[in-house]
Amino acid sequence: MDSYWFAVIAGSLAVYFWKILGYSLPKKFAENKEVVIFAGKLTVALLAALTAVQTFASGQTLTLDSRVAGVAVAAFLYWRKAPFIVAVCSAALVAALLRNLLGWP
């Protein structure tokens, strides 16, 4: 657990780097549309990739387990415009029920 301090501090500095960089560059960079679109796309791609890995990956194997059902319920709730916290708790509840009551993986 102590070794995680490295990730906590280095990660925080790495994220702050972008924030302070934006305040340090000449203002003309803000007008480059292509760069702005690139940043938006990269954000979408990373979050989608993280969703996929968190849903289907167990280490280096792909699996179908109770997480998938939980995420499917969350997707339905987001589609119905439910708040973030409601969807996240519902996903946990569904996965927990499937595991504890039905013995799903």
Partner 1 sequence: MSKRSRRSSVVSMSVGVGLAVGLYGTSFGALATAAGLSVWQAQVLSLLMFSGGSQFALIGVIGASGPAGMIPAIVSAWLLGIRNGFYALRLNSVLSVTGMVKIIAAQLTIDESNAVSASQESPKESKRGFWITGIAVFIFWNFFTLVGALLGSVISDPSVWGLDAAAAAAFLGLVWPRLKHFQSNLTALVAVIFTLVLVPLIPSGIPVIVGAPLAVGLIYLLKRTGLGKYLQGDNHG
- Residues 18 to 77 in contact with partner 1, rule: CB under 8 A: 18-23, 25, 27, 29-30, 35-36, 38-57, 59-62, 66-67, 69-71, 74-75
State the number of CA atoms in the 13 A half-sphere of 88 facing the CB.
4
CB 98 within 8 A of CB 67: no
Q: How many residues bind partner 1 (CB under 8 A)?
A: 75
As given in the structure block, the two tokens for residue 75 are 């997707």
Among left, alpha and beta (phi > 0; psi -120 to 50; other), residue 7 is: alpha
Site for partner 1, residues 79 to 98, rule: CB under 8 A: 83-85, 87-97
